[in-house]
C-alpha cells in the first residue's frame, strides 16, 4: 500500500507547479482564440488562426523556422556529443575546461547575437582579417554570413551556444558511465572507440536525444537570434509572433498568441514524430541484437 | 511508448477542453470587473476626498512620503542616470516623494497593465508611464489610462502652450488631458561630411548619395520606430504631407496615395546595403553600423543626440546631422498615469515637476532633449537657462530644426504603411 | 613489434583530439575576448583590427552604480539559488517517482513535466500573470521564484531522471536489505553518486532563472528587481560599450557562483562517500 502511494507523494510539488503552468498555458491559448476581456474581446473564434494560416508567406516562414531548428539541433548535438566524448576520454571533465564550456551557456542570446555580428558580419573581425591579408578589397566582398535568407548566421550563433549546452547536458552522465562500465568493457578487451559506441553512447542515448529535442524546440520558439540576425523576409515564426506582440494596437495580441499556438502545435507534432522515430529505431536496434 | 503518445493526445484534448471553460469563467469575471471599473477611476480617494476633486496642494499633501513608480524604456544610460541622480533627489527633497524607475519596454508595460486591470487589481504597481503615439491611443481606447488630469497641474497651465498641436495631438490622436508632454523628438539624418561632403536635401539627392556609395546606405526594417519614420518622411517628401492628416485608415487608399514613394523606395533598393533584400533589425544596429563606417548614412529621432556621440568619441568630429529641405517629422513623447495606479496623487506631482522650466532646462542641457515648455511663457531668468545651453558640434540650430518640423500621420496609418512596405518594397 | 605502431597511432589521435579541443576553446574565447575589448571601446571602425577611440564611460558608469548593482546581485543570486535548490529537490523527487515506480498516469505526468519546453515563455507568462495577481503572488519574491521554478524544473527533471536511471535502484535495495531505512538508503547511497548530475541540474536551473527577463518583469512587476532586468535594456540599446561591460560582469559573477557550487558539491560527495564510485 505504502509503495503504491510513494510515487504520488513524491510527485505532489511537481503536480502543484504543473497546475500553475497549465493555467498559464490555457489562458494563453484562450487569448489566441480571441478572448481577452480587458480589451473588449469576448467571443471565442478561430478567426485569428485562419487569418495567420492563410497569409501568403506563412509556408515559407514555417519552413524557415523548421530548417533553423533542425540544423541547429542536429549539428549542435552531433558536435556536442563528439566533443563530450573527447573530453571524457581525456579526463577533462572538471576545472578550467568546464569553466570554458559553461561560458556560452551563461551568455544571454542577445549577447550571442552581438558576438555573431562582432565576428562574422561584413564588418566583423573575420572580414577585417580577410581585408588585412588582402583577400578582399571591400566589405561587400566578404560573404554575407549573417542576415542571409538561408538562416546560416542564426544557425551559426545557435551552434556557438548550444554545442556547449549539449556537452554540459551529457558530460556528467557520460563521465559516470565511462568510469563505471567503460573500464569493465576495456578490461574485457573492447577498444576505446568500440566501447564508446557500444556501451557509453547507447546508455547516454536518452539524455542526448532529449538534449536534441530541447534545442530543436527552443530554436523553433525563440525570437531573439532570428530577429537580430535574420533576413527581413522570410521571417521566422517567433519573430512574427514577437512583432504582433509588440504591435501597438493591443487588440492584435490574439494574432501573437495564435502564432505562438501554431508554434506549440508544431513543437508537439515534431516531438510526437520524434518519439515515434526514436522508439522505432530502438526497437530495430534491439531486434538486431 | 504508445502510452506516451496516447497521453500526449489526451492532454492536448484536455487542454483545449479546459480552455473553453476558462473562457466562460473569465467572461463572467470580466463583466463584474467592468462594473467596478467605471467608478474605480473616480473612487480612488485619499482622506475621504476623491482624487479628481483635490486641489494640487492637497495632492502634494496626499503624496508626501509615498513612492511613485515610473515605467519606461531603460536603454539610455544618460537618461537613466539623470532620472536617478537628478530627478529622484529633487523629488525627494521638494515633495518627500521617492521615485522608482522601472526599465521596461512599452509593450511589456501595457502587458503588465492589462493583466493587472483584467485581474481587477486596484492598487496597481504602475504609476507613471513614458508613452506616445499608437501605444497611447491603444491604451486610452482600452481604458487603461487615468485622466483627464493635466489641467490640474500648475506647470502645465503656466509654462506649456496648451493650444499647440504638439500638446493637443499625439500622432494626430486627440490627447484630451490624458498625457502630459515630457520631451520633443524630431527625425534628423546623420552623415560624416568627411565621407559625404554633399548632404542630400531631398529624396532625389538621397538616391544620388546611395548610388555613389553603393551598399553603404540602408534604414532599419519596419516596424522599427526610426525606420518607420524615415519611410514616412520619404513619403512626405514625395507625396506631400497634408493629404495624410485626415486620411481614412484603409489599406487600398493608403497604398494608392503612397505609390510614388513606394516606386522610389524600390528604385533605391539596388543601391542599398545587401541590395535591399534585408534591412537591419533596429535603429540601434544602424547606429552601430554607421559608427563603424559600414554605412555612410544614419537617422535618428534624437534630434540633438549627435553632439553627445561626437563628444563621447563614438562619431567622428566631422559628423553632421541634417534635414530634407521640406522638413522632417517631429513628435512629442508624453507621461501618462495608469488607470489603476495606487499613487495617482504622487504621479501627478512628479509629472508636474517634470514640466517645470528648471527641470526642462536641465534636460536640455544634459541630454539635449528638445524642451516642451513654451519659451514665450518663461521669465527672463528662466529664458537664460535655455539660452546658455551649448548644443555642441554636429547639430542643426534649434530655430531651423523647428521651422522644418512636420506633423506625424494619424497613428492608425502607421501599421498599414509598415505592412505595405513589407509587401511592396523589401527585396523588390 | 606490434606495440610501436599502436603507440604512434595513439599519439596521432591525441594530437588530433588536442587540435579539435583547442579550436573549440578558441571559438568560444574569441568573441568573449572581443567583448572584453569593447567594454573600453568607443569607436572601432572598418577596417582596423584595433579600436581607434577608447573610453572608460561604461566602467565609470558602472562604478558609480556599484552600490545599487551589488544589491541587485545579492538579490538575484539569492532568488536564483532558491529556484535552483527547489528545482533540484523537486526534480529528484519527480525523477524518482517516474524512474523507479510504476503507476497509472505515469505517461501523462512525464508528458506534463516536459511540456514547458515546448511553450514559448511569453505565452505562459501572460497567461499565468492574472492568476498570480489573484493569488496575491505578483510583485513578490515568492511569486517570481515559483514562476522561475516552472521554467527551470523541466531541465532539472530531465537531467535527474537520466541520473536516477543510471544509478538504478539496486544499490539502495541492498542497503535496505542490510537494515538501512528508506531515507538513509537514499541519502547515504544514491545521493552521493547523484552529486555530479545534481550539480549539472542545479547550475542549469540557476542559469535559466538568472537570465529570465520577461517572466521576471511580468510577475515581479518591476518591483522585484534582478540584475537581468537592469541589464537587458542596455543589451537592447545597441550601446555596445555599456552592453559589453554589463555582460562581462554578468559572466564573471555567474562563473564565480558556479565555481563555488562545484566546490561545495565536490567536498560534499568526497566527505560522504567515495567507496561507491568503484
Q: What is the pLDDT of residue C229?
A: 87
Q: What is the pLDDT of residue B28?
A: 40
What would the grid cell of residue B387 be?
Answer: 539660452
Q: Is A83 helix (H, G, I), strand (E, B) or coil?
A: helix
Sign of CA dihedral A187, A189, A192, A198: negative
Do C99 and C187 sit in the same domain of this protein?
yes
Do C42 and C166 sit in the same domain of this protein?
no
User: CB-side exposure of A193: number of CA atoms within 13 Å?
Assistant: 3
**Could you give the number of structural domains in chain C?**
2
CATH number (domain holding residue B86): 3.40.190.10
**B190 near B299, Cβ under 8 Å?**
yes
Q: What residues make up the domain containing C268?
A: 65-277
Do C71 and C45 sit in the same domain of this protein?
no
Q: What are phi and psi of A41, to 5 degrees?
A: -100, 120
Mean pLDDT of C62-78: 89
- Residue C124 counted as domain residue: yes
CATH number (domain holding residue C272): 1.10.3720.10
What distance in Å separates the CA atoms of residue A35 and residue C52, rounded to the nearest whole number?
Answer: 55
Maximum CA extent, chain B: 84
Residues of B in contact with A248 (CB under 8 A): 107, 133-135, 137-138, 411, 414-415
Other CB atoms within 10 A of residue A113 CB: 23
Residues of A in contact with C150 (CB under 8 A): 17, 20-21, 24
Instruction: Looking at the complex, report in whole angstroms how far the Cα of residue C271 sits from the nearest Cα belonging to chain B.
Output: 40
> pLDDT digit string (tens) for B82-110?
999 999 999 999 999 999 999 888 888 98
- Whether residues A232 and B278 touch (CB distance < 8 A) is answered with yes
**B328 near B206, Cβ under 8 Å?**
no
> pLDDT digit string (tens) for B275-333?
999 999 889 999 999 999 999 999 999 999 999 999 989 999 999 999 999 999 999 99
Residues of B in contact with C63 (CB under 8 A): none
Do B61 and B174 sit in the same domain of this protein?
yes
Any long-range contacts for B32-35 (C-beta under 8 Å, 24+ apart)? B33/A37, B33/B117, B33/B118, B33/B120
Task: Please give the model's pTM, rounded to 2 decimal places.
Answer: 0.85
Do C42 and C95 sit in the same domain of this protein?
no
- Residue C58 counted as domain residue: no
Residues present in chain A in total: 289
For B93-110, give the secondary structure using H, E and C.
HHHCCEEEEEECCHHHHH
Cα-based angle B191, B193, B198 (whole degrees, multiple of 5)? 90
Cα-based angle C67, C70, C76 (whole degrees, multiple of 5)? 145
Q: Which residue of B has its CA nearest to C235?
A: B75
Percentage above 90 pLDDT, chain A: 30
* ipTM field: 0.85
Q: Does C43 reach chain B within 8 Å, measured CB to CB?
A: yes
The residues, ordered by sequence, that sit 6+ positions from A111 with a Cβ below 8 Å of its Cβ are: C35, C235, C243, C247
Nearest Cβ partner for C111 among B7, B108, B115: B7
Q: What residues make up the domain containing B410?
A: 186-331+406-424
Do B238 and B381 sit in the same domain of this protein?
no
Domain final residue, candidates C53, C75, C90 = C53
What would the grid cell of residue B226 be?
Answer: 526610426
> pLDDT digit string (tens) for A214-238?
899 999 988 889 988 988 888 899 9
Do C15 and C114 sit in the same domain of this protein?
no
Q: What is the pLDDT of residue C151?
A: 92
Maximum CA extent, chain C: 79
Instruction: Looking at the complex, report in whole angstroms how far the Cα of residue B24 sits from the nearest Cα belonging to chain C.
Output: 15
Residues of A in contact with B416 (CB under 8 A): none
Q: Does C135 reach chain A within 8 Å, measured CB to CB?
A: no
Do B136 and B110 sit in the same domain of this protein?
yes
What distance in Å separates the CA atoms of residue A121 and residue A139, rounded to the nearest whole number?
Answer: 9
Nearest Cβ partner for B19 among A30, A38, A148: A30
Do C99 and C9 sit in the same domain of this protein?
no
Q: What pLDDT band is residue C278 in, cutting at 50, 70 and 90?
A: very low
Do B229 and B251 sit in the same domain of this protein?
yes
Residue found by looking up cell 494608392 in the block: B256
Q: Which residue of A has its CA nearest to B13?
A: A26
- Residue B323 counted as domain residue: yes
Do C126 and C254 sit in the same domain of this protein?
yes
Neighbours of chain C (3+ CB pairs under 8 A): A, B
pLDDT greater than 90 at residue A145: no
Instruction: Looking at the complex, report in whole angstroms how far the Cα of residue B98 sits from the nearest Cα belonging to chain A.
Output: 30
Other CB atoms within 10 A of residue B94 CB: 12
Q: Which of B115, B125, B280, B312 to mutate to test the interface with C (most CBs of C within 10 A)?
A: B115
Do B211 and B310 sit in the same domain of this protein?
yes
Do B282 and B367 sit in the same domain of this protein?
no
Q: Which of B4, B9, B14, B26 to mutate to test the interface with A (most CBs of A within 10 A)?
A: B26
Do B141 and B230 sit in the same domain of this protein?
no
What distance in Å separates the CA atoms of residue C40 and residue C53, rounded to the nearest whole number?
Answer: 9
**A226 near A239, Cβ under 8 Å?**
yes
What distance in Å separates the CA atoms of residue C93 and residue C88, rounded to the nearest whole number?
Answer: 9
- Residue C179 counted as domain residue: yes
Do B356 and B411 sit in the same domain of this protein?
no
Instruction: Looking at the complex, report in whole angstroms how far the Cα of residue B155 sits from the nearest Cα belonging to chain C.
Output: 29
- Residue C227 counted as domain residue: yes
The residues, ordered by sequence, that sit 6+ positions from C95 with a Cβ below 8 Å of its Cβ are: C157, C160, C161, C163, C164
Q: Which of A15, A21, A38, A58 to mutate to test the interface with B (most CBs of B within 10 A)?
A: A38
Do C236 and C103 sit in the same domain of this protein?
yes
- Tell me the CA distances in angstroms from A225 to A61, B22, B359, B382, one per residue in order: 15, 34, 40, 49
Do C142 and C245 sit in the same domain of this protein?
yes
Residues of B in contact with C229 (CB under 8 A): 103
- Residue C59 counted as domain residue: no
- Whether residues A160 and C120 touch (CB distance < 8 A) is answered with no
- Tell me the CA distances in angstroms from A110 to A225, C211, C212, one per residue in order: 7, 11, 12
- Whether residues A268 and B142 touch (CB distance < 8 A) is answered with no
What would the grid cell of residue A171 be?
Answer: 558530460
Do B258 and B167 sit in the same domain of this protein?
no
Do B190 and B293 sit in the same domain of this protein?
yes
In chain A the domains, ranked by start, together with CATH numbers, are 58-234 (1.10.3720.10)
- Residue B41 counted as domain residue: no
**Could you give the number of structural domains in chain B?**
2
- Whether residues C126 and B3 touch (CB distance < 8 A) is answered with no
- Residue C241 counted as domain residue: yes
- Residue B28 counted as domain residue: no
Peptide bond preceding B148 in cis form (omega within 30 of 0): yes
- Identify the burial level of C179 via C-beta atoms within 10 angstroms of its C-beta, where 0-12 means exposed, 13-18 middle and 19 or more buried: exposed
What would the grid cell of residue A151 be?
Answer: 538562416
Q: Does C127 reach chain B within 8 Å, measured CB to CB?
A: no
pLDDT greater than 60 at residue C85: yes
What distance in Å separates the CA atoms of residue A249 and residue B412, rounded to the nearest whole number?
Answer: 9
Do C18 and C143 sit in the same domain of this protein?
no
Neighbours of chain B (3+ CB pairs under 8 A): A, C
- Residue B16 counted as domain residue: no
Q: What is the pLDDT of residue B241?
A: 92
Nearest Cβ partner for C107 among B7, B81, B288: B7
Q: Are strands B67-72 and B128-131 parallel, antiparallel or unpaired?
A: parallel
- Residue C96 counted as domain residue: yes
Amino acid at each position: 500500500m505504502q509503495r503504491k502511494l510513494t510515487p504520488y507523494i513524491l510527485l505532489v510539488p511537481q503536480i502543484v507547479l504543473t497546475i500553475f503552468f497549465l493555467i498559464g498555458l490555457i489562458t494563453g491559448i484562450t487569448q489566441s482564440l480571441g478572448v481577452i476581456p480587458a480589451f473588449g474581446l469576448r467571443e471565442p473564434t478561430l478567426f485569428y488562426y485562419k487569418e495567420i494560416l492563410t497569409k501568403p508567406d506563412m509556408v515559407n516562414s514555417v519552413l524557415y523556422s523548421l530548417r533553423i531548428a533542425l540544423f541547429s539541433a542536429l549539428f549542435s548535438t552531433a558536435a556536442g556529443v563528439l566533443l563530450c566524448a573527447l573530453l571524457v576520454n581525456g579526463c577533462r571533465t572538471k576545472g578550467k575546461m568546464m569553466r570554458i564550456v559553461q561560458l556560452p551557456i551563461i551568455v544571454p542570446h542577445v549577447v550571442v547575437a552581438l558576438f555573431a555580428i562582432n565576428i562574422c558580419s561584413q564588418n566583423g573581425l573575420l572580414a577585417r582579417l580577410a581585408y588585412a591579408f588582402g583577400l578582399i578589397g571591400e566589405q561587400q566582398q566578404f560573404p554575407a554570413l549573417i542576415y542571409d535568407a538561408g538562416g546560416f548566421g542564426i544557425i551559426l550563433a545557435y551552434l556557438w551556444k548550444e554545442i556547449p549546452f549539449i556537452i554540459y547536458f551529457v558530460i556528467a552522465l557520460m563521465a559516470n558511465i565511462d568510469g563505471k562500465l567503460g573500464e569493465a568493457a576495456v578490461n574485457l578487451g573492447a577498444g576505446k572507440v568500440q566501447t564508446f559506441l557500444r556501451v557509453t553512447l547507447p546508455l547516454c542515448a536518452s539524455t542526448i536525444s532529449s538534449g536534441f529535442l530541447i534545442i530543436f524546440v527552443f530554436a523553433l520558439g525563440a525570437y531573439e537570434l532570428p530577429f537580430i540576425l535574420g533576413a527581413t523576409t522570410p521571417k521566422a515564426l517567433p519573430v512574427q509572433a514577437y512583432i504582433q506582440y509588440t504591435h501597438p494596437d493591443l487588440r492584435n495580441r490574439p494574432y501573437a498568441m495564435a502564432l505562438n499556438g501554431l508554434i506549440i502545435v508544431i513543437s508537439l507534432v515534431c516531438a510526437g514524430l520524434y518519439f515515434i522515430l526514436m522508439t522505432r529505431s530502438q526497437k530495430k536496434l534491439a531486434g538486431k541484437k | 511508448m504508445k502510452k506516451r503518445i496516447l497521453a500526449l493526445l489526451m492532454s492536448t484534448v484536455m487542454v483545449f477542453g479546459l480552455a473553453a471553460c476558462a473562457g466562460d469563467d473569465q467572461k463572467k469575471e470580466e463583466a463584474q470587473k467592468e462594473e467596478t471599473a467605471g467608478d474605480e477611476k473616480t473612487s480612488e480617494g485619499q482622506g475621504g476626498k476623491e482624487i479628481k476633486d483635490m486641489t494640487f496642494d492637497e495632492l502634494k499633501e496626499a503624496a508626501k512620503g509615498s513612492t511613485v513608480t515610473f515605467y519606461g524604456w531603460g536603454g539610455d544610460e544618460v537618461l537613466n542616470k539623470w532620472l536617478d541622480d537628478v530627478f529622484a533627489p529633487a523629488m525627494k527633497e521638494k515633495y518627500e516623494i521617492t521615485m522608482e524607475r522601472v526599465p521596461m519596454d512599452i509593450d511589456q508595460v501595457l502587458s503588465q497593465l492589462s493583466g493587472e486591470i483584467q485581474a481587477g487589481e486596484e492598487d496597481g504597481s504602475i504609476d507613471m508611464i513614458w508613452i506616445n503615439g499608437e501605444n497611447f491611443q491603444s491604451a486610452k481606447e482600452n481604458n487603461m489610462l487615468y485622466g483627464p488630469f493635466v489641467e490640474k497641474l500648475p506647470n502645465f497651465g503656466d509654462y506649456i502652450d496648451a493650444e499647440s498641436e504638439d500638446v493637443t495631438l499625439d500622432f494626430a490622436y486627440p490627447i484630451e488631458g490624458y498625457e502630459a508632454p515630457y520631451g520633443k523628438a524630431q527625425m534628423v539624418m546623420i552623415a560624416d561630411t568627411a565621407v559625404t561632403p554633399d548632404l542630400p536635401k531631398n529624396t532625389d539627392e538621397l538616391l544620388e548619395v546611395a548610388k555613389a556609395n553603393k551598399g553603404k546606405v540602408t534604414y532599419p526594417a519596419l516596424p522599427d520606430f526610426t525606420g518607420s519614420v524615415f519611410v514616412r518622411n520619404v513619403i512626405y517628401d514625395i507625396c506631400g504631407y497634408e493629404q495624410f492628416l485626415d486620411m481614412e485608415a484603409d489599406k487600398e487608399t493608403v497604398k494608392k496615395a503612397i505609390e510614388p514613394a513606394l516606386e522610389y523606395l524600390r528604385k533605391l533598393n539596388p543601391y542599398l546595403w545587401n541590395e535591399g533584400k534585408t534591412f537591419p533589425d533596429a535603429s540601434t544596429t544602424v547606429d552601430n553600423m554607421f559608427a563603424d563606417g559600414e554605412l555612410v548614412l544614419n537617422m535618428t529621432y534624437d534630434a540633438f543626440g549627435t553632439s553627445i556621440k561626437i563628444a563621447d568619441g563614438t562619431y567622428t568630429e566631422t559628423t553632421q546631422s541634417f534635414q530634407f529641405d521640406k522638413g522632417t517629422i517631429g513628435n512629442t513623447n508624453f507621461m501618462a498615469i495608469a488607470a489603476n495606479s495606487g499613487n495617482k496623487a504622487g504621479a501627478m506631482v512628479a509629472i508636474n515637476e517634470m514640466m517645470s522650466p528648471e527641470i526642462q532646462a536641465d534636460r536640455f542641457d544634459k541630454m539635449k532633449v528638445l524642451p516642451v515648455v513654451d519659451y514665450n511663457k518663461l521669465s527672463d531668468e528662466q529664458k537664460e537657462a535655455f539660452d546658455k545651453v551649448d548644443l555642441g558640434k554636429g547639430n542643426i540650430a534649434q530655430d531651423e530644426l523647428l521651422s522644418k518640423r512636420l506633423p506625424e500621420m494619424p497613428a492608425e496609418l502607421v501599421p498599414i504603411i509598415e505592412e505595405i512596405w513589407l509587401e511592396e518594397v523589401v527585396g523588390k | 613489434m606490434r606495440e610501436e605502431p599502436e603507440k604512434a597511432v595513439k599519439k596521432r589521435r591525441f594530437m588530433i583530439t588536442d587540435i579539435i579541443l583547442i579550436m573549440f576553446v578558441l571559438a568560444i574565447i574569441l568573441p568573449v575576448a572581443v567583448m572584453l575589448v569593447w567594454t573600453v571601446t568607443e569607436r572601432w571602425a572598418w577596417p582596423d583590427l584595433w579600436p581607434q577611440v577608447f573610453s572608460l564611460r561604461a566602467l565609470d558608469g558602472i562604478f558609480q552604480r556599484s552600490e545599487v548593482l551589488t544589491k541587485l546581485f545579492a538579490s538575484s543570486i539569492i532568488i536564483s539559488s532558491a529556484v535552483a535548490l527547489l528545482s533540484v529537490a523537486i526534480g529528484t523527487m519527480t525523477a524518482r517517482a517516474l524512474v523507479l515506480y510504476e503507476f497509472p498516469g505515469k505517461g501523462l505526468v512525464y508528458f506534463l513535466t516536459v511540456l514547458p519546453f515546448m511553450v514559448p515563455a511569453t505565452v505562459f507568462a501572460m497567461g499565468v500573470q492574472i492568476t498570480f495577481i489573484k493569488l496575491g503572488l505578483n510583485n513578490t519574491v515568492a511569486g517570481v521564484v515559483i514562476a522561475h521554478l516552472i521554467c527551470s524544473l523541466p531541465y532539472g527533471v530531465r537531467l535527474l531522471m537520466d541520473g536516477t536511471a543510471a544509478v538504478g535502484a539496486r544499490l539502495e535495495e541492498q542497503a535496505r536489505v542490510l537494515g538501512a531505512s528508506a531515507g538513509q538508503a537514499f541519502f547515504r547511497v544514491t545521493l552521493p553518486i547523484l552529486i555530479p548530475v545534481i550539480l549539472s541540474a542545479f547550475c542549469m536551473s540557476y542559469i535559466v532563472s538568472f537570465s529570465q527577463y520577461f517572466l521576471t518583469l511580468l510577475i515581479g512587476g518591476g518591483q522585484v528587481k534582478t540584475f537581468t532586468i537592469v541589464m537587458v535594456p542596455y543589451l537592447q540599446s545597441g550601446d555596445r560599450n555599456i552592453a559589453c561591460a554589463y555582460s562581462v560582469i554578468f559572466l564573471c559573477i555567474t562563473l564565480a557562483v558556479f565555481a563555488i557550487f562545484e566546490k561545495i558539491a565536490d567536498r560534499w560527495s568526497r566527505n560522504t562517500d567515495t567507496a561507491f564510485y568503484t
